[in-house]
């Protein structure tokens, strides 16, 4: 859908991506179909066009966006959890 978009400022093109919503409806995950290019500025848009509405047809978003720049080198190492302070039974 065009309502959610990842945009590459170097190519001037949208990046093919998939989107999913969490079971509780509070989190939106964006996953590019391929690795992003290094040292590149990207924008992600919510409510680009058409605009977004909830299940009750209430207006949600009108073209909200943010940007990020990818790192300068490829990182093939998976993330590593160094510490955690979750107390037994805690969920957040």
Number of domains present in the structure of the chain = 1
Average pLDDT of span 45-54: 71
User: Can you tell me which residue has the tokens 């990207």?
Assistant: 42
Q: Which pLDDT does position 75 carry in this prediction? A: 75
* Any domain includes 20: yes
Question: Which pTM value belongs to this model?
Answer: 0.66
Mean pLDDT of the chain: 81
Per-residue pLDDT reduced to its tens digit, 57-89: 877 766 678 899 998 887 778 778 777 666 666
Of the candidates 27, 31, 29, 28, the residue with the CA atom closest to the CA atom of residue 15: 31
CA separation, residue 92 to residues 26, 43, 68, 87 (Å)? 14, 29, 26, 10
User: Can you tell me which residue has the tokens 């990818």?
Assistant: 70
Per-residue pLDDT reduced to its tens digit, 10-25: 999 999 998 887 888 7
* Any domain includes 90: no
Of the candidates 47, 45, 51, the residue with the CA atom closest to the CA atom of residue 17: 45
Residues in the chain: 92
Q: The domain containing residue 21 runs over which residues? A: 4-69
* Any domain includes 49: yes
């Amino acid at each position: 859908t065009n309502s959610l978009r990842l945009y590459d400022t170097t190519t001037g093109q949208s990046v093919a991506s998939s989107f999913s919503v969490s079971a509780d409806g509070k989190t939106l995950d964006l996953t590019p179909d391929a690795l992003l290019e290094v040292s590149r500025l990207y924008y992600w848009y919510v409510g680009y066009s058409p605009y977004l509405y909830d299940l009750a047809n209430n207006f949600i978003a009108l073209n909200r966006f943010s940007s990020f720049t990818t790192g300068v080198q490829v990182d093939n190492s998976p993330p590593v959890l160094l510490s955690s302070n979750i107390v037994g039974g805690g969920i957040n």
